[in-house]
Amino acid sequence: MKQLLSSPAVRMGLSVSIATGLYGISFGALAVAAGLNRWQVQALSALMFTGGSQFAFVGTLSGGGMSALVAASLLGIRNAVYGAQLNGLLTPRGPLRLLMAHLTIDESFATTMAAGTAREQRRGFWTAGVGVWLLWNLFTFIGAWAGDSMSDPKIWGLDGAAVAAFLGLLWPRLRSRDAAALAIVCALVTVLAVPFTPPGIPLLVAAVVALLMHAVGRPSAADRSAGQPSGVGGSPE
């Protein structure tokens, strides 16, 4: 246990789990205020388990069930992108693939990608995934039952906890100038797209921009081979 707790990925996963889990209080309170009963709120957190989609669902519920479903689905598309990348990194097998799919969220993906080795990546994923699920559901329960006495959950600053945790994961990745430039461009694209697109679309637009920038800036195979010193990567003379 001591060796496990000394793992940077485990410590990061635990800290992210606590910060994100606390945000569940806000969701539980807001979902009850939107008209869902407490057991419906708990089922959303246990089965949907993706905070952005849950908030989008609750926020658009007054516009009808279809608009709520569309908003939640659009935001959930990014998890499919995460899942494809994590499948290649962690290579899950059997029933673990289903469990891993359910635990694939922003926080588990970011914790995995921040780890340096394959072993640390697995530790980070499972710590963040399981930890967030447990605490998110626990604090959703608290928020749903205590929501009436909390007034506006934003007064407590809980709406910023998950954002702060995610920024904490992102910041160490911005060491290079290219990574920082990419983050700034994607942030601007997201902000500009918000007023003109449905919920969930700005994130997808930013993801497409990031992929295009990466593809354009990536050197071709010919460029890489041309940059190699003589005798490296070729046949011996």
Each residue of 109-150: pLDDT tens digit? Answer: 989 998 889 999 999 999 999 999 999 999 999 989 886 566
The total number of structural domains in the chain stands at 2
Residue 156 included in any domain: yes
Of 66 and 57, the structure prediction assigns the larger pLDDT to: 57
Where does 91-200 have alpha helices with state H? 95-102, 106-114, 118-150, 161-170, 177-193
For residues 38 and 136, membership in a common domain is answered with: yes
pLDDT at 236: 33
Output the pTM of the full model: 0.69
Of 210 and 29, the structure prediction assigns the larger pLDDT to: 29
User: Which stretch of 153-157, 184-188, 231-235 has the lowest confidence by average pLDDT?
Assistant: 231-235
For residues 131 and 22, membership in a common domain is answered with: yes
Distance CA(159)–CA(170), nearest Å, equals: 18
Q: What pLDDT band is residue 187 in, cutting at 50, 70 and 90?
A: confident
- Domain ends where: 139, 162, 185? 162
Distance CA(121)–CA(109), nearest Å, equals: 9
What domain range is 200 assigned to? 174-219
